[in-house]
Chains A and B, each alone.
Chain A
Amino acid sequence: MRLPRRYKIIQFLIFLGPILTITVLLYAMIAWCTYISMSDWRSAAISLRFVGFRNYADVVSTERFLVSLINNIQWMILFMIPTTFLGLVLAYLIIMTGKETLFRTIFLLSTAISMTVAGTLWVWMYASEGALNTLFKMLGLNFLVRPWISDPSTALYALIFVTIWQYLGFSIIVFEAAIKGIDRAIVEAAVVDGASGLTLFFRIILPQVKHAFLIVVPLLVLAALKVFDVVYVMTRGGPGLSTYVLAYFMWVKAFWERFMADGAAIAIIILLLSLVVVIPYAWYALKRWFG
């Protein structure tokens, strides 16, 4: 059946109507959350009197906010750099062996499972009589034995490692695809010129996979900014405030202490921080898509 031209609008609505509705709703929710963050809703009963930026001032001046923000920043750096670097190196090594399917599957397993389960498995790994300490004792590294996540000085880093463990598989496959996308002629020319494995890696591979960095780094930064599940499952922000992060702080404020307006304010702060990464990322994707 041929639809007459005047029904073009109907097709537009059938194809794009649902996703358009959802997109509009999502933006309306962002606007709504912004409004709530400027209201006086600080109890179980809904109250939406406008109070301006008071909640932001209150939230930002708390110790928990500062600690969370610093922890999030640490998380970003200490998670993003090793995951990116290891991902690139491992992708290169894996390609060298020619057994991609095997190694890819091994590293993707931890990417496929949920953060909740990953956290649970690692609580057991980090337990005082757990696998990690047992392993260190077997290797004679007794000075490394410690209660990893109940010690405030190591808890945050132990949690950050769990996210590295989870995202490495993702990083590997992006770099693997990028390395394999390199023009064969360039690699061949370098080989003919007698380049060694290391030279090839630093001089040819590294510059040719720049676009993969532009994918991995922003997405990892974003993941670090949103991190919640691992903290909730493993430490609930403790010991003390040592593993508090913004997303967890937001959840505690809104759903535990019932300071909805304050929770909304933290959520908006997380959003603003993430937009610094998301807008250029989406813009860049747009250019490639339509450009």
Chain B
Amino acid sequence: MKSFLIRAMKALHEPRKAVLKLLSNFKVKLIVVYLLLGIMCFFWLMPFYVAIVTSLKTHRETYTTNVLQPPSQVYIGAWIEAWKRVSIPFFNSILVSIVSTVACVLIGALGGYYLARFRFRGAEQLFFLIAIAAFIPYQVLLIPMTMLLASLGLFGTHLGLILAYIMLFSPWAALISSAFFLAIPKDFEEAAFVDGASPLQTFFKVVLPIALPGILSTTIIIFMNVWNEFFFAVSLITNPALRTIQPEIANLRGTTTVAWNTLMAGSIIGTLPPTIICLMLGRYFIRGLLAGTLKG
């Protein structure tokens, strides 16, 4: 997996490699390619376009005019209404996501580093068990998790939800970060060991700074997963004041009194963190996604 991952990552970051040039030099009419891609992109982006346009219309206009048509006048009332409804869940989600992500990445990176670097008896079995734990359907964990949190008095609290997310996503963080640790050279650590540093010192002072891009990718993947998680969020939090953003959007959708323009504005607010990350740190997001498949 190591070699493939390195190759794939290199390939992703050497734009216009010779292969691409070769491929694009073909006699296949590029215009056809662009046309096909254009149609696909148009269709794939349409829901976003429609959501933005709808969010800027008045309630009346959403029903009286063509949905595809831009608003006759920009109306921000729906955004204000939506923000009133989702601001608290938004900040709840920020809190839950940041705390769980930091904990997952810390636990995962420590474990992932050890798995990637040190060979010990049972390492293969442990890797196998962690990999399966990362991929099992969450449904099977929900009832025991509910009982565990209830017995700790944490059911329905943010701390309970955070603990659930740490358990759900730490195995992921370990596997993803491990893939990145495998791809960095051992030389620096060996030098540090010769100088008498302990593995823990080496990890924080030598390895982490080198592996920072990989850690960033891991962090992004875990953050997005926690932010977008719905199944546990809707089941473990019952108090509306503590609700996170995804169940709140689902709840808005279920409430017939909420107009489409507000619902679209709320949905856009709910997607802001992941979309901003995707637009600004896209390459790290992609590396993380690839590492998360375990095979690059």
Within 8 A of B (CB), among A134-165: 134-135, 138, 165
* A residues near B205, Cβ cutoff 8 Å: none
**Shortest Cβ distance from B63 into chain A, in angstroms?**
8
Q: Which residue of A is nearest B224, CB measured?
A: A112
Q: B45 near A: Cβ within 8 Å?
A: yes
The one of A14, A25, A113, A119 in contact with B200, judged by C-beta atoms closer than 8 angstroms, is A14
Closest residue of chain A to B133, judged by CB? Answer: A26
Binary contact readout B120-153 vs A (1 if CB under 8 angstroms, 0 otherwise): 1001101111111101111111111101100000
The residues of A that contact B126 with a CB separation of less than 8 Å are: 16, 20, 23
A97 pairs with B30, CB closer than 8 A: yes
Residues from chain A with a CB closer than 8 A to the CB of B296 are 177
- For the complex, what is the distance from the CA of A147 to the CA of B260, rounded to whole Å? 17
Instruction: Report chain A residues within 8 Å CB of B270.
Output: 114, 116-117
Is B70 an interface residue, CB under 8 A from the partner?
Answer: no
CA gap between A250 and B106 in the complex, in Å: 33
**CB closest residue in chain B, given A122:** B47
Convert A24-46 into 0s and 1s, putting 1 for each residue whose CB lies closer than 8 angstroms to a CB of B: 01111110110010000000001
A175–B26 Cα distance when bound, in Å, is 20
Candidates B27, B45, B136, B197; contact of A196 at CB < 8 Å: B27
Assess the A174–B290 pair: CB atoms within 8 A.
yes
Tell me whether chain B's interface is mostly helix, strand or loop, or mixed: helix
**Residues in B whose Cβ lies below 8 Å from that of A96:** 23-24, 26, 28, 30, 33
A105→B280 CA distance, assembly (Å):
10
8 A Cβ contacts from B146-184 to A: 147-148, 166-167, 170-171, 174, 182
Task: Give bound CA distance, A138 to B237, whole Å.
Answer: 44
Interface size on B, residues (CB 8 A): 117
Q: Are B286 and A279 in contact (CB under 8 A)?
A: no
- The residues of B that contact A55 with a CB separation of less than 8 Å are none
Residue A274 CB within 8 A of the other chain? yes
**Which residue in chain A gives the minimum CB-CB distance to B173?**
A19
CB distance from A236 to the nearest CB of B (A): 8
Select which of B36, B41, B54, B124 is within 8 A of A124 by beta carbon: B54
Q: What separation, in Å, do the CA atoms of A151 and B55 have in the docked complex?
A: 26
Q: Is the interface of A mostly helix, strand, loop or mixed?
A: helix
Assuming the contacts A22-B170, A232-B230, asked whether A29 and B144 have C-beta atoms less than 8 A apart, the reply is yes
Please state if B143 and A36 are interface contacts (CB–CB under 8 Å).
yes
Q: Is B95 an interface residue (CB 8 A)?
A: no
Q: Does B48 contact A (CB under 8 A)?
A: yes
Chain A proximity mask over B30-55: 1 for CB below 8 Å, otherwise 0: 10011011001100111110110010
B229 CB to nearest chain A CB (Å): 8
A53 to B171: give the CA distance in the assembly, Å. 31
Residues of chain A within 8 A (CB-CB) of B120 are: 12
C-beta contact mask, A250-272 vs B, less than 8 Å → 1, else 0?
A: 11001100001001101110110
B residues near A122, Cβ cutoff 8 Å: 47
A67 at the interface (CB under 8 A from B): no
A187 at the interface (CB under 8 A from B): yes
Are B132 and A278 closer than 8 Å at their CB atoms? yes
Contact A108 B41 (CB under 8 A): no
- Contact bitstring B179-208, A, C-beta under 8 A = 1, else 0: 000100000000000001111110100000
Instruction: Collect the chain A residues with CB atoms within 8 Å of residue B167's CB.
Output: 22, 25-26
Closest B residue to A205 by beta carbon equals B23
- Tell me, yes or no, whether A6 is within 8 Å of chain B by CB: no
| A202 in the interface (beta carbon within 8 A) | no
B137→A11 contact, CB < 8 A: no
B17 lies within 8 A of A180 (CB): yes
- Most A CB within 10 A of own CB, among B37, B229, B246: B37
Interface hits, A149-195 → B, CB 8 Å? 165, 168, 170, 173-174, 176-182, 184, 187-188, 191
Contact yes or no, A103 B143, CB < 8 A? no
The answer to whether A282 and B128 touch across the interface, beta carbons within 8 angstroms, is yes
- The answer to whether A29 and B148 have CB atoms under 8 Å apart is yes
A157 to B200, CA, bound (A): 52
Please determine whether A226 and B137 come into contact, CB atoms closer than 8 angstroms. Answer: yes
Q: Which of B1-9, B72-80, B210-218 contacts A (4 or more CB under 8 A)?
A: B1-9
Task: Check B285 for interface membership: any CB of A closer than 8 A.
Answer: yes
User: Which of the listed residues B17, B36, B120, B230 has the most CB atoms from chain A within 10 Å of its own CB?
Assistant: B230
Q: Judge whether B264 is part of the interface by a CB distance below 8 angstroms.
A: yes
A104 contacts the other chain (Cβ, under 8 Å)? yes
Interface membership of B239, Cβ < 8 A? no
B293 touches A12 (CB 8 A): no
Contact flag A188-B142 (CB < 8 Å), given A121-B267, A278-B132: no
Q: Can you name 5 A-B pairs with beta carbons within 8 Å?
A: A98-B15, A114-B230, A116-B270, A197-B28, A290-B124
Q: A32-B144, A97-B30, A285-B1 are in contact. List 5 more A-B contacts (CB 8 A).
A: A111-B289, A125-B46, A233-B253, A271-B136, A271-B140
**8 smallest A-B Cβ distances: which pairs?**
A19-B111, A180-B11, A114-B228, A197-B28, A29-B144, A15-B114, A282-B131, A177-B8
Which B residues form the contact surface with A (CB < 8 A)? 1, 4, 7-9, 11-12, 15-28, 30, 33-34, 36-37, 40-41, 44-48, 50-51, 54, 63, 66-68, 107-108, 110-111, 113-115, 120, 123-124, 126-133, 135-145, 147-148, 166-167, 170-171, 174, 182, 196-201, 203, 224, 227-231, 234-235, 246-247, 249-250, 253, 260, 263-264, 267, 270-271, 274-275, 277-279, 282, 285-286, 289-290, 293-296
